[in-house]
Every structure is written in structure tokens, then in C-alpha cells.
Amino acid sequence: MYEHTWQNGDKVALPATKAICVGRNYQAHAAELNNPVPEQPVLFMKPDTSLRAFAENIHRPTDRGSCHYEMELAVLIGHSSSGTINGDPMELVAGYGLALDLTLRDLQKQLQQAGKPWERAKAFAGSCLLSNWIPAGEVSQSLQLSLHINGELRQQATTADMIFALPQLLDEASQAFDLRAGDVLLTGTPAGVGALADHDELELSLLDRQQNKSWQWHTRVAR
């Protein structure tokens, strides 16, 4: 069972609840999938059964078409909020990390074309892999996220590239679903998504450009 864990290995004293995800928050990613740039954040959810640690590796379904990686900046919610946030939304943030939002792309396209919800393609068990968490007080707001697969750079972006900034995303998520301590907010994926293959080796890195600090995590496709 997944448990939130700090970067130093200590357990986080928060339950592992739901993940709230943001779609199409980078213009280049919207363009690569031929989707319009949204005027309001596109929000959907993954249940607690989707949560896994990078150390557990990637166990993708093999009978439902291609499974795509989508690297995202992840935010751990430390305080609950319901409705419009009064005060600074950033005060809700307990930590930062990186996530892989796994997507069954062929199935997603079929569901979209039929006008049906995305959950079967987005919210399956093990579809949200998470790094350990860096305490919010140790991280600035000037961040760069990168993904290498088998040594090749596949995705890279900065928080400045987001269409909707983190404070707005937090407020929108609080209004749409309510935020609970232990929730995770995935902030959208940059361009460069693609299909995973057997035994792929993934390196994810987060660079704090203001403080010149960086963190790296590794995971792999188990089969």
C-alpha cells in the first residue's frame, strides 16, 4: 500500500488520498495531441488505488493498447480546503515532487471519440507513480522538471511554462472537489509524451533554478 514519504526516507504524517490532475497545462503538449488550449483548467481525478512509489516500478497493462508516460510536477497538500481559498493558496502546500501520470492512449482516444469519461484510461490501478516529497520550505517557485528515458531527454519544462500557475490550480481544485490533507495535485505534463516499452529505464529530475539545487529519482518498466 502506498504511503507518502519525505525525501530523507521518513514517512509523512498524512494519509494517501486522491490525486487531482490537470490536463493540457502546457501549450506545446496540447498542440502535440491536437487539443485546444483551455480557457479554464481541465481537471480530473485518480483514486488512492492509482498511487504507487517510483521504487515499486511501472507495472503497465499490456492488453489495452499503448501506455504513455506523462511527467508532471506534483504537489502534496498539507491542509484541507473547501471552496474558494481564503488567503494564500500556497500555504496549503506541504511538499513538492515529480509524478508519472500513466495514460492508456489508445483507450483514451476511443473514449474521447465516443464522448465517454477518461477514467478507464487514466485512473487504473498503479497509474500515478510518485517520487518522495521535498518539504515546501526547501523549494522555490522557479523549478525545471526533466525526464530521460534510457539516457535520452524526452520531456523538459519549467513552472514558468505553465498556462495556469500553481495558486490558480490550487484554488480551482479546492472549488471543484475540495482539497484534503494528503491529496496530491498533478500540475500537467509538458510536450514529449510517448509510449513506454519493456524494461525502459526512467530518470526524473527536479531543478530549483533559484537555489541551484536538484533532486533525481529513478524507476523502470517492470515488464
Evaluated on CA atoms 201, 109, 39, 95, the torsion sign reads: negative
Q: What is the pLDDT along the chain (223 residues), one digit of tens a residue?
A: 999 999 999 999 999 999 999 988 998 776 676 777 788 999 999 999 999 999 999 999 989 999 999 999 999 999 999 999 999 999 999 999 999 999 999 999 999 999 999 899 999 999 999 999 999 999 998 999 999 999 999 999 999 999 999 999 999 999 999 999 999 999 999 999 999 999 999 999 999 999 999 999 999 999 7
d(CA 187, CA 162): 8
Q: Which domains, from first to last, does the chain contain?
A: 19-220 (3.90.850.10)
d(CA 67, CA 115): 21
Contact 122, 21 (CB under 8 A): yes
pLDDT (0 to 100) of residue 118: 85
pLDDT (0 to 100) of residue 31: 67
pTM for this structure?
0.95
Of 178, 184, 168, the closest CA to residue 81 belongs to 178
pLDDT (0 to 100) of residue 30: 60
Alpha-carbon dihedral 105, 107, 110, 113, rounded to 10 degrees:
-60
DSSP state of 221: B
